Amino acid sequence: MIIGSISENKQLEKRISITPEISKKYISSGLEVLIEKGSGEHLGFSDDDFFKEGCKLESKETVLNKSNIVLQLNLPDDKNLDLLKENSVLIGNFNSNYNKEKILKISSRKISVFSLELLPRITRAQSMDILSSQANLAGYKAVLDSFAIFRKAIPMMMTAAGTISAAKVLVVGAGVAGLQAIATAKRMGAIVFSTDVRLASKEQVESLGGKFLVVEGAENLETEGGYAKEASNEFKKKQEDLITETLKKIDIVICTALIPGKKAPKIINEKMIENMKPGSIIYDLAASQGGNAAFTKADEIVEKNGVIILGETTILNKLPTSASNLYAKNLFNFVMNLYDNKNNKININLEDEIINKTLVK
């Protein structure tokens, strides 16, 4: 069995899907690993580092030609897809809703395509859950980034030259990314507020030292999978009032609210932003799905009334090493679930919820 990976488009994607550390694990599980030459260099993983672990370094074509399993982040371009061999398996984070057609075309060539954003949120799948692992880092990085561009210091400092008061941070959406954002802002000394539609999140926010903005009469909008449903209009109105009031004193907003398969909810509207203090920052992690804030533009910095709005869609490119480490480990766990060690073959067992749901069909 051969497992391989080729370079991503490094302009758009800095992460990689096999790290030297993980390649070692594949090899000790009995797989061969092929890596495209130079694919990790931008992260400080030289070809030599891979070689030392026992990988073979090959050209893109060889990798695609020979591998039974190909691990990627984004969907390779058509030219590369064509090189995939029959009965091979392609695994990655392919935005399968959006790319459905393209993927089905590949599948038709007897290539099984697994897209891991489809992973069911069951306990056993947690170690393969790329959404969690990446959202976690995104939440962390969003805070660090926004703090770095903020013109004031974050923590409270009572000094001989006067007092700097602690910055106030609002985290919109307390999912995986949101919680990590809360934790990070909190440990830097910020005063952290958060809002979410799922009732359980109140306790979770408080368990990290954050303050939860309680919308009166809130219903629980949690689906069985642990995701959020869309909120009712009444709820939205109440939430709006509360957030408007809160935002007047907030310095930094981190937006992470998402509803799977839908546009991100618009939570911070124009008027709210008007009332914010100049110099405040809105860091919108939901930008790729339209953003939680008005004015958010994907991958652009917008300034409105002195408020800086960043719509970030590729934040993990700013934390590529850690993100790759976790992503690669997620894929490894997924592959191990797929791979039949004894018979040295891939076992696409459709009884297995994990395999069944992630297979794009």
Ligand X SMILES: NC(=O)c1ccc[n+]([C@@H]2O[C@H](COP(=O)([O-])OP(=O)(O)OC[C@H]3O[C@@H](n4cnc5c(N)ncnc54)[C@H](O)[C@@H]3O)[C@@H](O)[C@H]2O)c1
Ligand Y SMILES: NC(=O)c1ccc[n+]([C@@H]2O[C@H](COP(=O)([O-])OP(=O)(O)OC[C@H]3O[C@@H](n4cnc5c(N)ncnc54)[C@H](OP(=O)(O)O)[C@@H]3O)[C@@H](O)[C@H]2O)c1
**Catalytic residue numbers?**
121, 126, 129, 132, 227
Amino acid present at 107: S
Query: Which of another protein, a copy of itself, ligand Y, none interacts with 338 (beta carbon under 5 to 8 A by kind)?
Result: none
Site for a copy of itself contains 248 (CB under 8 A): no
Q: Give the count of residues interacting with another protein (CB under 8 A).
A: 33
Per-residue CA distances from 85 to 17, 105, 106, 110, 334 (Å):
19, 14, 11, 9, 21
Residue 42 CA to residue 80 CA, distance in Å, equals 21
Site for a copy of itself contains 26 (CB under 8 A): no
Least gap, CB of 312 to ligand X (angstroms): 14
Tokens in use for 163?
Answer: 């007092």
Query: Which of another protein, a copy of itself, ligand X, none interacts with 148 (beta carbon under 5 to 8 A by kind)?
Result: a copy of itself
Site for a copy of itself contains 314 (CB under 8 A): no
| C-alpha torsion sign, points 261, 262, 267, 270 | positive
Site for another protein contains 171 (CB under 8 A): no
Pairing of strands 301-304, 281-284: unpaired
Site for ligand Y contains 123 (CB under 6 A): yes
Site for ligand X contains 51 (CB under 6 A): no
Q: Closer to ligand Y at the Cβ: 123 or 343?
A: 123
Binding string to a copy of itself for residues 275 to 294, with x set by CB under 8 A, is what? ---xx---------------
Alpha helices in 150-214 (DSSP H): 176-187, 200-206
Q: Which of 11, 21, 112 is nearest to 70 (CA)?
A: 112
Interface of this chain with another protein, residues 126 to 145, rule: CB under 8 A: 126-127, 132-133, 136
Least gap, CB of 244 to ligand X (angstroms): 14
Residue 110 CA to residue 77 CA, distance in Å, equals 18
**Contact region with a copy of itself (CB under 8 A), list: 128-136, 221-229, 267-275, 286-294:** 128-136
Interface of this chain with another protein, residues 205 to 224, rule: CB under 8 A: 206-209
Per-residue CA distances from 265 to 245, 283, 292, 309 (Å):
19, 15, 6, 16
Residue 141 CA to residue 137 CA, distance in Å, equals 6
Q: Closer to a copy of itself at the Cβ: 64 or 335?
A: 335
Q: Closer to ligand Y at the Cβ: 9 or 126?
A: 126
**Contact region with a copy of itself (CB under 8 A), list: 26-34, 70-78, 265-273, 329-337:** 329-337
Least gap, CB of 93 to another protein (angstroms): 17
Site for ligand X contains 256 (CB under 6 A): yes
Beta-bridge partners for 112: 89
| C-alpha torsion sign, points 198, 202, 203, 209 | positive
Site for another protein contains 347 (CB under 8 A): no
Least gap, CB of 176 to another protein (angstroms): 6
| Three-state secondary structure call for residue 135 | helix
Site for a copy of itself contains 336 (CB under 8 A): no
Q: Do 115 and 95 contact (CB within 8 A), yes or no?
A: yes
At a CB cut-off of 8 Å and minimum separation 6, what does 34 contact?
2, 3, 4, 5, 55, 56, 57, 58, 62, 63, 66, 67
Tokens in use for 13?
Answer: 């994607």
Q: Closer to ligand Y at the Cβ: 123 or 163?
A: 123
Selected from 26, 114, 193, 327, the binder of a copy of itself by CB under 8 A is 327
The residue length of the chain stands at 361
Q: Closer to a copy of itself at the Cβ: 44 or 261?
A: 44
Interface of this chain with ligand Y, residues 285 to 344, rule: CB under 6 A: none
Residue 308 CA to residue 317 CA, distance in Å, equals 21
**Contact region with a copy of itself (CB under 8 A), list: 192-200, 231-239, 284-292, 316-324:** 316-324
* Positions in the binding site for ligand X (CB under 6 A): 121, 123, 126, 129, 131-132, 135, 172-178, 195-198, 201, 226-228, 231, 256-260, 265, 267
